[in-house]
């Protein structure tokens, strides 16, 4: 390190810390302001008892949530549907032209139809693989000692952001030209197994679609495992005892008793991962930016709306996404409610 750099270091450090201080200061101010006002309102409104108590409580306690929901979700959602029927600069009504574009542009190798096809591949393959692997691990680990350690390690990716997960896997898939020492684990592994000229993984379509799905599976398997493991543990002991008396063992037990008993949970896990997959954005954004034939619906919705400023097309893609997610979420919420009621 030369003298100038050595001298510059403390200055940069002081600047960075000063910047951090002022940002966190703003945050604390905002928090103090928010909770200060809340306390004041509470104090003032709390004095009014008697007839005013109820209406005041309704307005003050429920009002902020209703305003935020209206401004932040209800009106924007309606406006997006409206924008999806207008041209890209929102100046004229174009009917269903944007939707027509979404379903007819390009083919399975390019354009929007490719991204719709990719999205379809994603929501079929990734959730099924993650759920089956999660179930397999949940069943197998249930028989082991120290199972908490294995479960923790497999569950850990759930806490990591998709951006973090993408960087982890981008490194695994890193590729260098033939002859150079490989630094990606995948290249090194296949070379060790005897495939001397591996491709540049992320650029190879359609292989890259599946390599990106691995990231989703890596993250969601832990989720599936934890939920399914809890469901397996919740099977009443009587039933297991009875099956045991009848001589059920190993796989017979798994297929005749365990699987039917956790069927509902299994479906909820599958649909939940499907919802997450349908809205997939972060992995594609970080790994390829939608290039090399890997684009999906949610990523292009972002690109159309916020990069290319095609508001009509972007909104149409958002509406398609909504229509796709709607039945899945509705089903999940329905299940969640039913479970609550029977408990």
Partner 1 sequence: MSTPAQVAAPSTVLRGPAATKAVRRSFSSPIASLLVVLLTLLWTVPTFGLLVTSLRPAGVVSTTGWWTVFVHPSFTFANYHEVLFSGAGLGVSDGLLPYFVNSLAITVPATLFPLAIASAAAYVLAWVKFKGSDALFFFIFALQVVPLQLALLPLLQLSSGGAHIGSVTIFPDLNLGNTYVPLWTAHTMFALPLAIFLLHNFIAQIPRDLIEAGLVDGASHFRVFRTIVLPLAAPALASYAIFQFLWVWNDLLVALTFAGGSGRAPITARLAQLTGSFGGRWQLLTAGAFIAIIVPMAVFFALQRYFVRGLLAGSVKG
Closest CA to 82 of 324, 339, 319: 319
Residues 131-160 that bind partner 1 (CB under 8 A): 133, 137, 140-144, 150, 152-154, 156-160
Least spacing, CB of residue 62 vs partner 1, in Å = 4
- In the complex with partner 1, the residue whose CB is nearer, 194 or 247, is 247
**CA-based end-to-end distance of the chain:** 66
Helix intervals (H) in 48-62:
53-57
Burial class (CB in 10 A: 0-12, 13-18, 19+), 169: buried
Least spacing, CB of residue 179 vs partner 1, in Å = 13
H/E element, 95: none
Task: Write the interaction track for partner 1 spanning residues 46-85; mark x where CB under 8 A is met and - where it is not.
Answer: xxxx---xx-xxx-xxx-xxx-xx-xxxxxxx-xxx-x--
Residues 20-49 that bind partner 1 (CB under 8 A): 20, 23-24, 26-27, 30-31, 34-35, 38, 42, 45-49
Least spacing, CB of residue 34 vs partner 1, in Å = 6
Least spacing, CB of residue 106 vs partner 1, in Å = 21
Closest CA to 172 of 124, 218, 115: 218
Burial class (CB in 10 A: 0-12, 13-18, 19+), 150: middle
Residues 289 and 271: beta-carbon distance below 8 Å = no
Task: Write the interaction track for partner 1 spanning residues 183-222; mark x where CB under 8 A is met and - where it is not.
Answer: xxx--x-----------------------------x--xx
Residues 325 and 332: beta-carbon distance below 8 Å = no
239 binds partner 1 (CB under 8 A): no
Q: Which two tokens stand for residue 130?
A: 């993650």
Residues 268-327 that bind partner 1 (CB under 8 A): 272, 275-276, 279, 281-282, 285-287, 289, 298, 301-302, 305-306, 311, 314-315, 318-319, 321-322, 325-326
- In the complex with partner 1, the residue whose CB is nearer, 114 or 268, is 268
């Amino acid at each position: 390190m030369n003298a100038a750099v050595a001298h510059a270091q403390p200055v940069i450090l002081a600047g960075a810390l000063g910047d951090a201080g002022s940002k966190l200061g703003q945050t604390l101010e905002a928090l103090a302001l928010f909770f200060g006002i809340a306390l004041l309102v509470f104090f003032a409104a709390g004095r009014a008892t008697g007839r005013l108590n109820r209406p005041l409580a309704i307005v003050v306690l429920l009002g902020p949530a209703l305003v935020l929901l209206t401004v932040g979700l209800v009106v924007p959602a309606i406006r997006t549907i409206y924008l999806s029927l207008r041209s890209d600069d929102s100046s004229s009504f174009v009917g269903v032209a944007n939707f027509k574009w979404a379903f007819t542009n390009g083919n399975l190798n390019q354009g929007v139809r490719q991204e719709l096809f990719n999205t379809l591949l994603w929501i079929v393959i990734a959730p099924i693989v993650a759920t089956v692997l999660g179930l397999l691990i949940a069943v197998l680990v249930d028989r082991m000692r120290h199972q908490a350690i294995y479960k923790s390690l497999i569950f850990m990716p759930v806490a990591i952001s998709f951006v973090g997960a993408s960087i982890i896997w981008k490194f695994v898939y890193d590729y260098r030209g033939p002859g150079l020492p490989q630094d990606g684990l995948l290249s090194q592994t296949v070379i060790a197994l005897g495939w001397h000229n591996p491709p540049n993984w992320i650029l190879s379509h359609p292989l890259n679609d599946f390599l990106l799905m691995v990231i989703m599976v890596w993250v969601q398997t832990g989720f599936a495992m934890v939920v399914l493991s809890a469901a397996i543990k919740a099977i009443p002991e009587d039933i297991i005892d009875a099956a045991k008396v009848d001589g059920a063992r190993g796989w017979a037990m798994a297929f005749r008793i365990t699987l039917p008993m956790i069927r509902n949970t299994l479906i909820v896990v599958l649909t939940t991962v499907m919802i997450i997959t349908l809205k997939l954005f972060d992995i594609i954004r970080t790994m390829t930016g939608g290039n090399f034939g890997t684009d999906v619906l949610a990523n292009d919705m972002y690109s159309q709306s916020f990069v290319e400023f095609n508001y009509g097309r972007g909104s149409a893609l958002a509406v398609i996404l909504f229509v796709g997610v709607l039945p899945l979420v509705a089903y999940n919420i329905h299940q969640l409610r039913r479970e609550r009621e029977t408990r």
